[in-house]
């Protein structure tokens, strides 16, 4: 069976690649993909059964072939030198730290490679060393990616002009070209395979059910969910003030019983279009109790594309419509 997460990795990647990505998007998608591989491999190494030698070999190929030889060189051979040329300090500054961290990650990967080689060669006693070396390697890079995403890339974006962005993009293409055509696609497919074979769980499984329920009830949007058989299965904000009142008696009812007769055939038409895959969203807005209310229906599908039901969202957008100008986080902090 194809893993849901594995497909998501590829789909997220494909969605981004439909329009020409910027250099920041390419590098940050590399980071995101690598972090998914980290999470998957971490789970495989810690599982109740020892990891397969094939997932260890795949992870090693991804870390060496892509992260070390390709991704890091997109930055070191093109982004960093241009940033330095345009005024980002190297010695004693962020670039020196980034380069030093690349070297540290290479040393950690060399140790990982030794243990991985022994494990693949049949020495099961190499597993604790492999786990320790991987923990060291991944922690260096997780911290490193965060610094690049949040500090270095925004800093470079502020000083780069369009021609500089184009130079970095050409540099990225040059580095990827060293490894053949479709380098990124090939390694992202390898990443998806690692994620699939690890059976990595969806992040929502990290949350206890009551926390997930509290998150849904905290959203500034009211939710209702009707399953693939058009029966109401869930609504949020129970026992909270709601724009459209709803009580537990709605659960299990079919949509015909929840809408006035004059609109029910329209609702059924939308649901049919969702089921047929002809559309994925329908939206309305209305004036209600002195508020502008935005109502949206979304087709909910599994990663494999199967129709699971319809999510209705109801939001009071009156305060959003009144927004003008800007209030940034820093303004808010000053006001406290």
Positions in the binding site for Fe ion (CB under 5 A): 75, 148
CA distance 172 to 78: 7
CA distance 219 to 242: 12
Neighbours of 259 (CB within 10 A): 13
CA distance 333 to 322: 22
Of 42 and 77, the one with the shorter C-beta distance to Fe ion is 77
Neighbours of 5 (CB within 10 A): 20
- Residue 31: phi and psi, rounded to 5, are -60, -45
To Fe ion, the closest distance from the beta carbon of 155 in angstroms equals 14
Which tokens sit at 101?
């961290």
HSE-CB of 191 using CA atoms within 13 angstroms: 30
Burial profile 166-195: b = 16 or more Cβ within 10 angstroms, e = fewer? ebbbebbeebbeeeeeebbeebbebbbbbb
To Fe ion, the closest distance from the beta carbon of 43 in angstroms equals 23
Of 144 and 246, the one with the shorter C-beta distance to Fe ion is 144
Task: Yes or no: say if 296 and 281 are a contact pair by the CB < 8 Å rule.
Answer: yes
With 0-12 CB in 10 A as exposed, 13-18 as middle and 19+ as buried, what is 283? exposed
To Fe ion, the closest distance from the beta carbon of 143 in angstroms equals 11
To Fe ion, the closest distance from the beta carbon of 182 in angstroms equals 20
Of 148 and 312, the one with the shorter C-beta distance to Fe ion is 148
Neighbours of 265 (CB within 10 A): 10
CA distance 287 to 264: 20
CA distance 99 to 256: 62
Residue identified by tokens 């184009």 is 166
Of 109 and 293, the one with the shorter C-beta distance to Fe ion is 109
Of 79 and 200, the one with the shorter C-beta distance to Fe ion is 79
To Fe ion, the closest distance from the beta carbon of 68 in angstroms equals 10
Of 148 and 222, the one with the shorter C-beta distance to Fe ion is 148
To Fe ion, the closest distance from the beta carbon of 79 in angstroms equals 9
To Fe ion, the closest distance from the beta carbon of 38 in angstroms equals 13
Of 30 and 312, the one with the shorter C-beta distance to Fe ion is 30
Of 142 and 242, the one with the shorter C-beta distance to Fe ion is 142
Taking alpha carbons only, the member of 138, 139, 156, 142 closest to residue 94 is: 156
To Fe ion, the closest distance from the beta carbon of 175 in angstroms equals 12
Of 75 and 230, the one with the shorter C-beta distance to Fe ion is 75
Task: Calculate the alpha carbon distances from 16 to 101, 112, 201, 241 in Å.
Answer: 28, 32, 23, 38
To Fe ion, the closest distance from the beta carbon of 135 in angstroms equals 19
């Amino acid at each position: 069976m194809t893993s849901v997460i594995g497909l998501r990795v590829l789909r997220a990647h494909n969605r981004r690649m439909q329009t020409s990505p910027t250099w920041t998007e390419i590098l940050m998608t590399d980071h995101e993909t690598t972090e998914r591989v980290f999470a998957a491999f971490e789970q495989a190494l810690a599982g109740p059964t020892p990891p397969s030698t094939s997932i260890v070999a795949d992870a090693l190929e991804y870390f060496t072939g892509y992260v070390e030889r390709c991704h890091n060189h997109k930055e070191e051979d093109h982004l960093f030198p241009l940033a330095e040329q345009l005024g980002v300090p190297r010695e004693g500054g962020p670039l020196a730290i980034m380069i030093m961290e690349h070297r540290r990650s290479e040393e950690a990967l060399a140790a990982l490679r030794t243990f991985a080689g022994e494990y693949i060669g049949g020495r099961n006693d190499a597993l604790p060393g492999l786990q320790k070396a991987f923990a060291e390697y991944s922690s260096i890079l997780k911290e490193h990616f965060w610094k690049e995403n949040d500090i270095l890339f925004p800093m470079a974006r502020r000083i780069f002009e369009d021609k500089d962005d184009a130079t970095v993009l050409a540099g990225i293409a040059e580095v990827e070209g060293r490894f053949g055509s479709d380098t990124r696609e090939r390694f992202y497919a390898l990443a998806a395979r690692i994620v699939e074979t690890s059976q990595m769980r969806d992040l929502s499984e990290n949350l206890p059910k009551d926390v997930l329920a509290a998150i849904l009830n905290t959203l500034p949007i009211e939710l209702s969910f009707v399953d693939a058989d058009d029966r109401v299965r869930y609504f949020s904000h129970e026992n909270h003030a709601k724009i459209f009142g709803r009580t537990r008696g709605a659960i299990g009812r079919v949509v015909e019983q929840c809408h006035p007769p004059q609109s029910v055939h329209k609702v059924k038409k939308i649901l049919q279009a969702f089921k047929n895959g002809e559309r994925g969203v329908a939206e309305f807005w209305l004036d209600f109790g002195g508020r502008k209310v935005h109502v949206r229906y979304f087709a909910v599908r599994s990663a494999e594309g199967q129709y699971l039901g319809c999510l209705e969202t109801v939001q009071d957008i009156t305060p959003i419509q009144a927004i003008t100008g800007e209030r940034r986080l820093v303004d808010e902090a000053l006001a406290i």
